[in-house]
Structure 1
Amino acid sequence: MKIFQAYPTKKAGNEIIFRFENDESANKFMATYQLFKQTLVEIQVRDDREISAQQRKFIYALFRDISNWSGDMPEYIKQLFKMWFEEWRDVDEFSLRDAEKSVAAELITFMLDFVAEHDVPLKFKPLDALEPDDIKHWEYMSLINGFDVIDGSKPVELAHGEHAVGMGRDRDAISNVGNTVFSLSHAHHVELHRVGLPEFKSKYHINGVLVTSEILRELESRGRRFGTVRE
């Protein structure tokens, strides 16, 4: 696959005009297009924002924590995860010095999935470095894997959000589909009730996980039930 760079300049209905850097680039594109008799061109939007200092710091902290957990050297962990990530994303080698910000965010989520699935202890709070869309995924992983969404600690309690179970109701007899829940340590669960849901969500930039029937089945397959939810 050959890659060309062009910039959208005008939209008219469902048609968009692209501008190439110069005539030579445009001519090369057309020559390639006609040579292979293509009828469809795949367009990828490039994120021109470079990796942030916070993202880079977070990634190297992950390398160190996984290194401490596995007993391997941090540099080995770095090269290993770069290789795994490149294979998973099907991309050529990239550098952490000038990676796109969106690619760095993908790498962080990729590594945090490994952390969640292998119960790797962390020395920092992932929420401090995640983008909003990645926070949503981290909340889901914390619920499914049973660790505190804020600091990764165990054990946890499943706390209800907007739709509380209420006192005196049989938690095993009701459906939690449509309820919002949080995976929290006892201390953070107590904090939620002490400060109230709006302040808690604002402080940690989390929204909870909306329970679906698929999530219930996944939790039950792991031996976890909503009957253990505390109010």
Structure 2
Amino acid sequence: MTELFAKLNKVDPNKGLITLQLSTDDIHTLEKYHANGQQQMVSLIASDENGVSAQQRKFAFALLHDIWWSQVGGQWIETPETVKQHFYAMYEYYNSLDFGEFSLSAAKGTKTDTNQFINMLLDYAAVHDISLSVKPLNELEPQEIARWEYRCLLDKRCVICGQAHADLAHADSVGAHGGNRQKINHLGLRAMSLCRQHHQEQHKIGIQSFMNKYHLNGIKIDEKIALEHGLNIK
């Protein structure tokens, strides 16, 4: 059995038909199973507002696979399953849950727990400089994007692609606050962390168009961010 993820586009209750939107890879997978001429049975699980969404689950499993593929962490990194069980146990321990209580399943898991679990995986990937196969901005829930933006500023990691050694890029015009980057007080000014390629794109298309394109809000510089980037706060 192979688990696929799809977006529900249309429901026709009169004909008992639904239309799903799948990725190209998942469509190829279905075609492969259908090639033998046998009728395929598909299980459909609908998630409510509090349940784990298909997007959350797909993103979490992609992060777990990236961590396993990196082979960073010790003996428990043996297989994708041992990696999953290790992080399940970590999440349960740090959140005072009973063993086996956490789950990414659509039937048992919750949206809140899964968001926190994903954040834990992103933190681990950032600390160990693990390359990600998917872009967090495309997968995170809207309320979680600000946390990712803040983390990238502290880690000097591109908020778009995750590349290390990124630069701090101001979202608010420095010119409107005195113009001299060395002398102005940076506290409260919005910023983001961008690699050279995305920093150049930001200058090319303009800050507001860039932020709209990637659904960024920018993070107000606090003392921790200013200290990490050597910014003046007086």
Q: TM-score, normalised by structure 1?
A: 0.70
Q: How does 1:154-193 map to 2 (within 5 A)?
A: 154-165=164-175, 169-193=179-203
Q: Secondary structure at the match of 2:185?
A: coil
Q: 1:48 to 1:194 in 2, by over 3 A?
A: closer
Q: Which runs of 4+ in 1 moved over 4 A?
A: none
Structure of greater Rg = 1
Structure 1 distance, partners of 2:164, 2:116, is 25
Identity between Structure 1 and Structure 2 (%): 38
The match for 1:83 is: 89
Q: 1:78 to 1:165 in 2, by over 3 A?
A: farther
Q: 1:188 to 1:111 in 2, by over 3 A?
A: same
Structure 1 distance, partners of 2:143, 2:70, is 27
CA shift at 1:48, angstroms?
A: 5.7
Structure 2 distance, partners of 1:112, 1:137, is 10
When the two structures are aligned, how many residues end up with a matched partner? 175
User: 5+ residue gaps in structure 1?
Assistant: 1-46
CA shift at 1:165, angstroms?
A: 4.8
Q: TM-score, normalised by structure 2?
A: 0.69
- Residue by residue over 1:125-163, the C-alpha shift from the partner in whole angstroms, topping out at 9 and shown as x without a partner, is 011111122110100110001110011012311111123
Q: How does 1:1-231 map to 2 (within 5 A)?
A: 49-70=50-71, 72=77, 73-92=79-98, 93-97=101-105, 98=107, 99-165=109-175, 169-217=179-227, 219=228, 224-226=229-231
Q: Aligned-pair RMSD on alpha carbons?
A: 2.1
- The answer on whether the counterparts of 2:137 and 2:214 sit within 8 Å (CA) in structure 1 is yes
- Residue by residue over 1:8-62, the C-alpha shift from the partner in whole angstroms, topping out at 9 and shown as x without a partner, is xxxxxxxxxxxxxxxxxxxxxxxxxxxxxxxxxxxxxxx8621111111111111
